[in-house]
Amino acid sequence: MSSVSSLFSSGGMLAKAIPGYMPREAQTDMAQAVKTALDEKHALIVEAGTGTGKTFAYLGPALMAEGKAIISTGTKNLQEQLYHRDLPVVKKALASRRKVALLKGRANYLCLHRMGQHRGNSVLVDKEVLGQLSEVRSWAETTRSGDIGELKTLPEDAKVLPLITSTVDNCLGRECPDYEECYLVKARRKALEADIIVVNHHLFFADMALKDTGFGELIPEADAIVFDEAHQIPDIASDYFGESLSTRQLQELAKDINVIYRTVLKDVEQVDKTAEKCRVAAADLRLLFPETPQRGNWAEALEREDVQSYIARLTDGIGVLHEVIKLHLGRDKDLDNIYERVVQAREQLAALCDLNQQGVSLWYETTHRHLILHLTPLSIAAKFRRFVESVSRGWVFTSATLTVDGGFTHFQKRMGLEDAKTLALDSPFNYQEQAVLCVPRYLPEPNSYEMRDTLFETAKWLIAASKGRCFLLFTSHAMLREIAGRLEGQIDNRLLVQGSTTKQALLDEYLADKNAVLLGTGAFWEGVDVRGSDLICVMIDKLPFASPDDPLLQARIEDVKKRGANPFAAIQIPQAVITLKQGAGRLIRDPADKGVLVICDNRLVTKHYAKTFVASLPDMRRTRSIEAVETFLKSIK
């Protein structure tokens, strides 16, 4: 079996397989630590700075080890990059014969049964959906994987998608007439036979929390589990260990009943009418909240009389629907499945309205059309610790942003990983030569009205100085829209604004236009890799503290206070530090990159906690002079 040094050394297998490969000490150190964790079956947490080569550092040992490994990453894009680009390179270098598989969540695969239900039912869908449906049908004749990602012409939020994919709720499982041909089943079979399975965090935790079935067979079998982008895990896991119910689910339930009534069971009009009443009650409940999307405390909302009244209406409606469907059980598999969904919705609604629970946050969020109710545990540490300790296997958690002020305590406490081994590896980049950090002088207070003018003037000036090649990152959609609106017509550069099209389309347009400026919020703070002179300036509007009126944050703050600790130090600062590190990480992606990071927040100079933020950022040259920034930008070829 190959050793780590034989893979990563200057004359090793990677050097032979990749032209221009240069061994990096940090990469070899990480690979050695990963190999030890997998061999000795313990947990390892690694922060590997940008440029360490962490992907190869865990793929090499995972391919060398015996047994099955699950590799989980943050997004579908990263998952595909790992599977299609990085894994084949390491596999080829090692001349490995191990089987690999890519597995996504069920919403990514075509459901033949649901597509069949809509064949010939033009009455049920509008013109736009009909066009998309015929596009899907012609693609369905040639696809081998059934992966919806192949359909590049469909928008990410295409209306047809819920009609041609299944959810945990509406999947018939082994009862489905198309079970043997099912693309999801085929993908899972392939994964069961594979040695290395690439998944994403949402799929992993959906299964771990038993919200799904099928992939769950893989988790107990795995000898090694590697989480890349591990800083995302605490929030994703919290979502899956809780409960949620949305008015969209209830509307889709009513829609599915209507399809059955119109096509298969034309005598169940009473079921259809009862479902329609539930749909109307759910839609009316949404109308009790403001039109603009927001988050709020559900326990407080439940004290309102109008909310109580509509919840009672919805509860009664679901109860009646439950009784009416019961009369027709056994007549149709799809209807039997809907009965299970009604039972589950009834139980979830009861749990989401129970105000006597301890250790959870009850909150809601609205989209333009829907209301989503959430029950989220305040801590997952005990549950996750039990999961890690239940089976002897190797665990690796890695990201470029896990430490706060040089320590892993925040991440370890949130995940219940206090006993894990830790390793912090600095980036090999020469930040003192490559980058400048600027907090401009004379900044107004971050939340003052004058700040809008300052941000606009700073952004305009930076765009001119960098000739476009910049990202303007914001902590809120409101500020993003404000500055984008002001810049429109004031500069000649093309403005690419998050929300106008998909993230990937915006990135492609940015790379194609050498003078473009990209304005983004959360989605562009991480998982974006723009190298060389395509990106020489990143402006961040302010320190990314979570919104103080976020109901989940408020509940966590109360919980920390009850335990006698300081919530600002325990929760708010660490989370803001990790987010800031992610945003700052967009700037320098390569040993030859150069650039300027401008953070428009005077708290980085005036507040006592500033040193925690600065110590957590890469060691760039620092200045408060805009002129120094201009000089540096001019020096970049």
CB 484 within 8 A of CB 519: yes
In the predicted model, what is the mean pLDDT of residues 179-199?
92
pLDDT tens digits for range 370-396:
999 999 999 999 999 999 998 899 999
Distance CA 535, CA 47 (A): 24
pLDDT at 75: 86
pLDDT value, residue 217: 65
Per-residue pLDDT tens digits for 538-558: 999 999 999 888 999 999 999
What is residue 199's predicted lDDT score, i.e. its pLDDT?
A: 94
Give the per-residue pLDDT at 530.
92
What is d(CA 590, CA 13) in angstroms, rounded to the nearest whole number? 23
- Residue 154's pLDDT is 80
Using 50, 70 and 90 to split pLDDT, how confident is the model at 513? very high
Joined tokens for residue 16: 């032979």
Determine the 3-state secondary structure of 547 from DSSP. coil
Judged against a pLDDT cut of 90, whether residue 495 lies above it is answered with yes
Does pTM surpass 0.75? yes
Q: Which helix (H) or strand (E) holds 394?
A: strand 394-399
Distance between CA atoms of residues 491 and 461, nearest Å:
10
Angle of CA points 60, 63, 67, to nearest 5°: 145
- pLDDT beyond 60 at 211: no
The pLDDT of residue 499 is: 84
Predicted local distance difference test score (pLDDT) of residue 157: 75
Of the given ranges (113-127, 331-345, 403-417), which has the lowest mean pLDDT? 113-127
The chain-wide mean pLDDT, for the chain, equals 91
pLDDT of residue 216: 61
Mean pLDDT value of segment 105-126: 79
Q: Among 246, 247, 227, which Cα is nearest to 237's?
A: 227
- 3-state SS of 404-423? ECCECHHHHHHHCCCCCEEE
Give me the sheet containing 517-520, strands edge to edge: 495-497, 517-520, 470-473, 537-540, 595-599, 435-438, 621-623
Percentage of the chain beyond pLDDT 70 is 97
Over residues 329-353, the mean pLDDT reads: 93
Sorting pLDDT into bands at 50, 70 and 90, what band is 221?
confident
* pLDDT tens digits along 71-97: 999 988 889 999 999 999 999 999 999
**Lowest-confidence pick of 227-231, 258-262, 430-434:** 258-262
The answer on pLDDT for 118 being more than 90 is no
Nearest of 72, 58, 66 to residue 98 by alpha carbon: 66
DSSP 100-132: EEE---GGGB--HHHHHHTTT-GGGS-HHHHHH
How would residue 1 be classed by pLDDT, with cut points 50, 70 and 90? very low
Among the ranges given (54-58, 211-215, 313-317, 617-621), the one the predictor scored with the smallest mean pLDDT: 211-215
Contact in structure between 321 and 278 (CB atoms under 8 Å):
yes
For the cut 70, the answer to whether the pLDDT of residue 124 exceeds it is no
Say whether pLDDT at 152 is over 80.
no
Which range has highest mean pLDDT (151-160, 161-170, 547-556, 595-604)? 595-604
Region 445-455 average pLDDT: 94
Mean pLDDT of 456-481: 95
pLDDT band at 213 (very low <50, low <70, confident <90, very high): very low
pLDDT at 502: 79
Kindly list the structural domains of the chain, giving each domain's residue range(s) and its CATH number in brackets, ordered by start: 4-98+195-230+382-425 (3.40.50.300), 106-183 (no CATH), 243-377 (1.10.275), 431-635 (3.40.50.300)
Q: Angle, to 10 degrees, between the axis of helix 477-487 and the axis of helix 450-466?
A: 60
Task: Give Dmax (Cα) for the chain.
Answer: 78
